[in-house]
Each structure stands twice: as structure tokens, then as C-alpha cells.
Amino acid sequence: MADNRNLGSSSLSSSNLGNPLEPKEIHSLTLKALPIYSEKTDIAHDSDSDDAFGVSTILTLPQAFVNMFLGETFKSYISIHNHSPFDVKNVTMKAEMQTGTKRFALADVNTPIISFQSGESHDYVVSHEVKEIGIHILVCTVSYTRHTGESKSFRKFFKFQVMNPISIKMQTHDLQHGIFLTAQIQNLTTNPLFLETVRFEPLPLYVATDLNQMEDNSKSLGGVLGDLIYMKPSDVRQYLFKVKEVDDVELMNQVEPKGESRGKIGSVIGKLELTWKSNFGESGRLQTAPLERKVPQRLELELSVRNAPSHILLERPFTIDCELTNTSNRNISPKLHYARDKMTGVSVDGTMRYDGLTQPVQPGASVHITLRLFPTKPGVQKVKKKKKKMMI
């Protein structure tokens, strides 16, 4: 089985880590550890299972550890064999994964094998989801008692490198109707990748909408991106999500200090999660660090356009329906007037004051406003927000 990834180091050393001039001790037991990979075959059928990417049930055992990618699951076959002419006793084995920052227990045979006969073998399979980049070392420790009653132990080390398989560049754009999140994903490996899911997981204060699909398509990777989710090396794909704050006022009040303006939610909005399969069928999973956005400064009163004509005729009056929302936690009595010095190409159909607001606007409430305007110039005209004076 060929693999374009560079080979990592195999067994580093045995138990004799002292003076290199001393003769190497010969143990009654030998230990071998080999990585497990699924052998790639031709795609013969369609299936909804996780193993339906042209992967057979045949497992192959390369003779050396190869470099892996972040998000994959490391699997290894460990075999202990008694090659001596004598039986040994009380055999125990421990397998650990050591990274640059942590050590994880993969297998710990606490119950010793009372009698390990000559020529006998015991096999184990260990696995570990790779979540760190850098050097990883599989550490195997074996302890046993010789037929003479002498207690012995040895360790073996198997090293491999973990690299980043995918580059993710994310940006947030705060617009009037929500937060738009763009994610640019690039395949950094030398082999193709088969993307299964690209999903944004928002915090409880937010709700996310996947904009990468058509309304009649239930698959998150279908629709506007088509059915192809096959990424060749260096291929780049871009995804778009819309994130909005929840409308649950009670939930919002639980996280906002009393007296603060509504909408001042934390800058962390969620995480992006990806799952894929490599060309050898290994599953990969990657979750980004919590995504932060620059929280815009929000006013206590927000004026938004809800309805406006798509076509406007010159010198024909038209109306715009707006909504004025109180985002604070106190009653506000607003008074609106038009910013005449900033209105070009559009005049007011009536007086320069708007007298439709007679009652205070309660916290979180909105009021409907209808503006009557008169176009005086053709072309695209800027519509400026109106100035607001507040009386508490």
C-alpha cells in the first residue's frame, strides 16, 4: 500500500537507555507495534454508513509509522511474543500516547497474565483521536517475571508526526440583519479529502443558518455548492453562515447585567466543526477554537427599514415603512426629525418633523413608522438614518 506522506520514525529505543557501551539486554519477550490503516479499493456500492468511501474491511499493517493529520484517529496493533524456550509469568502491558503537553493512557493491562508459555503471543489494538499538532510518541511498557523468579521490564517508543490537514480562515461581518460568517477551507495534504460535514455550532445565545444549501435540499453541503464535496490537494472551498441573536428575552436577561443595554452580548459566538475521510478511508474530525467577533457599539434606539418599493418614479411620492426598536432596558420617548442637510435627491413629502410618536417605547419593544418622501433626482440615492432626540 502506497502513501504519499513521509515516513515517521519507527521504534526509537528499548529499555537499555543507560551507557551506550554496555551490552544490550536480551529479554524473553518481544514487542511489536504497527499502525493500522484501511486498504483503499474501488467504490462498488452506495451506502449511508461511515465506511462507504470505497474502503474495504481488509486492514493492512505497514512496517513503519507514517505521519498523520490532525483530527484523524490513530490505531495500532500491539503484539507481545515469548521467543524464549522458557515460560514467563505475571506479564503486564501498558500503552500510552505522549504529546508535547499531555500523556494519554491507551491500554493498561492491570490483571497480569499468570502464565505466558514459550512461543505464545498476546495481541492488543489501541486507538486515540489526534487533537494536537507536533511529535507524538507511542510508549509501550512490558513487565514480567522470568522462570528464574527475576522481575524484568522494558519499554519501546514509536514516534510519528501530526500535521495540520486543513487551513481554515474565518471572518465575521456584522450587518443590520445579523452576523454573516465566512469560512475558507483549504486542503493542505498531498492526498484528496472527502468532506462529510461543515457545520457551525453557535452558543446558546445565538442561532445559526446554513446558507450553503437550497431550501429544498436537506444536505448541508449540497445546493449552491453542488453535489461534489471532493477536495483535491490545495483545493479551496468557501462557506457562508448567518448568525443571529436569540429572541428569548428571558434568556438574554440572564446573561446581561442589570442596567446594561440590551444586545451587548459577549464576543464569542461559536465554533466551526468539520468531518472528512481521507483517500485511505480514515475519518477525520476538526473543531476550531471559539470564534470571536468585534462587537459593534449599538445605540439604544435602532431604526431599520422593513418595506420599501423596488422601483421609484421621479417626482412621484412614495412611502417607506420603518421600525424603531428600543434596545435598552428603560423607557425612551423619542422625537424624530429629518436630517435635511444629508438628503440629496430626495425631499420630504410634508413637514420636516415626524409627530407620529406620542407614547414612550418600552424596553425591547418596537414601533412602526411610515415615512413619506419625494424623489427629485434620478439614479441611486442614499437614504440616511434619521436623527433621534430622546426624552427620558
CATH code: domain of residue 383: 2.60.40.10
Give the span between the Cα atoms of 109 and 38, in whole angstroms: 26
* CB-count burial class (<10 Å; 0-12, 13-18, 19+) for 100: exposed
Q: What is the pLDDT of residue 354?
A: 59
Query: Does residue 385 lie within any of the structural domains?
Result: yes
State whether 185 and 71 are in the same domain. no
State whether 45 and 154 are in the same domain. yes
Query: Does residue 20 lie within any of the structural domains?
Result: no
Joined grid coordinates for residue 29: 519477550
Give the span between the Cα atoms of 63 and 50, in whole angstroms: 27
pLDDT digits (tens, 9 = 90+) for 47-81: 343 443 444 444 444 556 777 888 788 888 899 99
Give the span between the Cα atoms of 199 and 243, in whole angstroms: 12
Residue ending a domain, choose from 131, 148, 163:
163
Mean per-residue pLDDT, 99-122: 88
CATH of the domain at 198: 2.60.40.1230
Q: What is the pLDDT of residue 269?
A: 87
Task: Look at the chain and report how many structural domains it folds into.
Answer: 3
Residue ending a domain, choose from 163, 191, 210:
163
State whether 352 and 227 are in the same domain. no
Query: Does residue 325 lie within any of the structural domains?
Result: yes
Helices assigned H by DSSP within the chain: 249-255
Higher pLDDT, 280 or 200: 200
For 68-101, give the DSSP string: EETTBEEEEEEEEEE-SSS-EEEEEEEEEEE-SS
pLDDT digits (tens, 9 = 90+) for 341-352: 777 778 877 655
| Helix (H/G/I), strand (E/B), else coil: 250 | helix
State whether 325 and 288 are in the same domain. no
State whether 96 and 176 are in the same domain. no
State whether 49 and 152 are in the same domain. yes
Lowest mean pLDDT among 21-35, 107-121, 140-154, 372-386: 372-386
| Number of neighbours of residue 285 by Cβ within 10 angstroms | 17
Q: What is the pLDDT of residue 139?
A: 92
State whether 74 and 135 are in the same domain. yes
State whether 196 and 229 are in the same domain. yes
Residue 352, domain extent:
301-391
Residue ending a domain, choose from 163, 187, 212:
163
pTM assigned to the model = 0.53
> Which long-range contacts (C-beta less than 8 Å, at least 24 apart) are formed by 105-108?
106/138, 107/78
pLDDT digits (tens, 9 = 90+) for 132-153: 889 999 999 999 999 888 999 9
State whether 140 and 209 are in the same domain. no
